[in-house]
Structure 1
Amino acid sequence: MSRLGLIGRCVLLALAFLVLAPPHWIAMRLLGRRTTVAPILFHRLFLWLFSVRVMQSGTPPDPGEAALVLSNHVSWLDIVVIGSLRPLSFVAKSEIASWPVINALAALQRTIYIDRQRRGATATVSTAMGHRLAEGELVVLFAEGTTGDGNRLLPFRSALVGAARAALQAEAGRGRVRLQPLAIAYPRRNGLPVVRSERSEIAWYGDMDLAPHLATFVQGGPIDVQVVWGKPITFEATTDRKVATAAAEAEVRAALTGILTDRGEAQPTLGARPAPPGLDLGGSEIATV
């Protein structure tokens, strides 16, 4: 991608944000809406502009069904990909709230922040997540607690899965909450399989500097992303959160194994690039190269 092409894409994204953000915030703050389609449209435009094609399969929650989504985490791009699928909120570390540009995008998504240095933060955040779930929302938790290199799945942490119990307590009469395993992987680039040694070029993890990583992302060519909604797990008052977390981890691990060994079955559903097909909210393919 040329420098002029990159600048043009960034300008289009900035204009899209300026158009979408004000009515989104007005709808939420003045009209009491919990969410709008603005974040979805913005993320889908990003994916289309940068030739990222998202394919999904599995058993996603029904529209309007609350679920605590437990996902693996590979890159900052995960947020754009998952955010393009449907209305939802993320749980993120509190440092993001001070990052320029990123914090504005996080505000669009109604991100729930956790200060990992503060004692008692887990209980506070679990309660906030529980209220979102009780209101019928999707809340996405990157259960590894950090990003990985794309080659291995880190153990899922169970502490914030307690939000499911908080949801049961927040809504009288609710007997169960859906825990939704979600696997995300980047199996192909430029139409070719991404081999093990190349996955770190897409993943952003550890102490990697963001600027060189973004340069590689922009220059590396089209990316195929595969998202698998795993078999849901029912969380009830008597459910052991550690057992439920382990079950979600196993489901994600199995899905990733299928994707990375080319046994996944996710299928795109929309056509070619000339117009941003991802802006069609009726389709399950989010963007196309």
Structure 2
Amino acid sequence: MTATHRALGSAGRGALRLAVYLGWTLLLIPVQALAVWLKLPLRHRLPRFYHAACARIIGLDVRVRGRRVEQGPVLFISNHSSYLDITVLGSVIPGSFVAKSEVAGWPFFGLLAKLQRTVFVERRARSEVHRQRDDIGARLDAGDNLILFPEGTSSDGNRTLPFKTALFAVAARRIGDRPLTVQPVSVTATRLDGIPMGIAFRPFYAWYGDMDLAPHLWQVVKLGGMTVEVEFHPPVTIEDFPSRKALADHCQRAVAQGVAHAVSGRHPDPLPGDAVPADQGAH
């Protein structure tokens, strides 16, 4: 690590953030567990409140473009570059995640995933596709929003991997008298303490390949504030496309374009609160 990178990290800041994060999490675990057990409406609202606070605690400034579909259920389709995506998306979307089955067995984080009523899927077992589709469909029928990462793995954050189409089969489901709403979402880490991250700094957010979780998390909490841009793209339904592959390809293109614009810093639509140059403000 270079001297510049060392300057970005503070062990004292990291220790404080971890202590506050753990205290906050341990405080809410029994509340959410009780809400899930009793099937209280709070079980839907509390995770978003929890994640929004966690984002502030660990220094994530989540900035939103576009408009989230509020009338559910909605299947949100997002790129995936880090475990931090859970906190980022969880802070702006009231819903549950679709995650690989291994997550259920992770210490601590597996418990948090279960408390958010995550749908666990075995991505490599073709024989399980129909059952998993039915499990996801049942949650959507119940009115729950779900967040799916169809890349199948996390990337380096600078690009979007091809989307796997298997779980898009659930998009053919009808909710009452209408087709299921599908909304693509782009998530991109763009700035570190106000400085554009670029390829060099983006691995401070992205967690992929053979990176170890604990050292990466420790580096994250030591750093200054990171800006993460979330862009909600126009919603679609399966009826807009000739096949689920065409739907998957459309979602991949929309998400990839959002990531590319955010990475380049030349997005055609400014974030709320951003200054608009005078020559663009007059119409």
TM-score range, shorter chain: 0.7 to 0.9
Residue 57 (structure 1) shift: 1.1
Residue 19 (structure 1) shift: 2.8
Name the stretch that deviates more: 135-144 or 22-31: 22-31
Residue from 238, 244, 250 that aligns with 1:241 = 244
Residue 133 (structure 1) shift: 1.6
Q: Which runs of 5+ in 2 are unaligned?
A: 1-8, 274-283
Whether 1:137 aligns to 2:144 is yes
Q: Which residue matches 2:68? A: 60
Which string of whole-angstrom CA distances, capped at 9 and with x for unpartnered residues, describes residues 166-190 of structure 1? x32xx5x433111110000001111
Query: Structure 1's 256 and 45: CA in aligned 2 closer, same or farther, altered over 3 A?
Result: same
Distance in structure 2 (CA, Å) of the matches to 1:257 and 1:184:
10
Superposed, 1:156-235 pairs within 5 Å as 156-165=163-172, 167-168=173-174, 171=175, 173-235=176-238
Percentage of matched positions with identical amino acids:
34
Q: Which residue matches 1:285? A: none
Residue 119 (structure 1) shift: 4.1
Distance in structure 1 (CA, Å) of the matches to 2:90 and 2:62:
11
Residue 13 of structure 2 contacts residue 222 of structure 2 at CA under 8 Å; is this kept in 1?
A: no
Residue 237 (structure 1) shift: 10
Q: Secondary structure at the match of 1:128?
A: helix
Which string of whole-angstrom CA distances, capped at 9 and with x for unpartnered residues, describes residues 171-219 of structure 1? 5x43311111000000111111011232223211111112222232123
Residue 67 of structure 1 contacts residue 139 of structure 1 at CA under 8 Å; is this kept in 2?
A: yes
Residue 158 of structure 2 contacts residue 259 of structure 2 at CA under 8 Å; is this kept in 1?
A: no
Q: Secondary structure at the match of 2:231?
A: strand
Q: Secondary structure at the match of 1:36?
A: helix
Give the aligned residue type for 1:48. Answer: R
Whether 1:100 aligns to 2:129 is no
Distance in structure 1 (CA, Å) of the matches to 2:185 and 2:110:
24
Aligned length: 264
Name whichever structure is richer in helix by fraction.
2
Distance in structure 1 (CA, Å) of the matches to 2:270 and 2:60:
15
Give the aligned residue type for 1:267. Answer: L
Which string of whole-angstrom CA distances, capped at 9 and with x for unpartnered residues, describes residues 255-285 of structure 1? 112111212335357xxxxxxxxxxxxxxxx
Which string of whole-angstrom CA distances, capped at 9 and with x for unpartnered residues, describes residues 55-114 of structure 1? 01113112x421111110011100110011132111111111111110121022111111
Residue 188 of structure 1 contacts residue 224 of structure 1 at CA under 8 Å; is this kept in 2?
A: yes
Superposed, 1:35-114 pairs within 5 Å as 35-62=43-70, 64-114=71-121
Which string of whole-angstrom CA distances, capped at 9 and with x for unpartnered residues, describes residues 196-254 of structure 1? 23222321111111222223212332100000001111224985110101011111111
TM-score, with structure 2 as normaliser: 0.85
Q: Secondary structure at the match of 2:33?
A: helix
Give the aligned residue type for 2:80. Answer: H
TM-score, with structure 1 as normaliser: 0.84
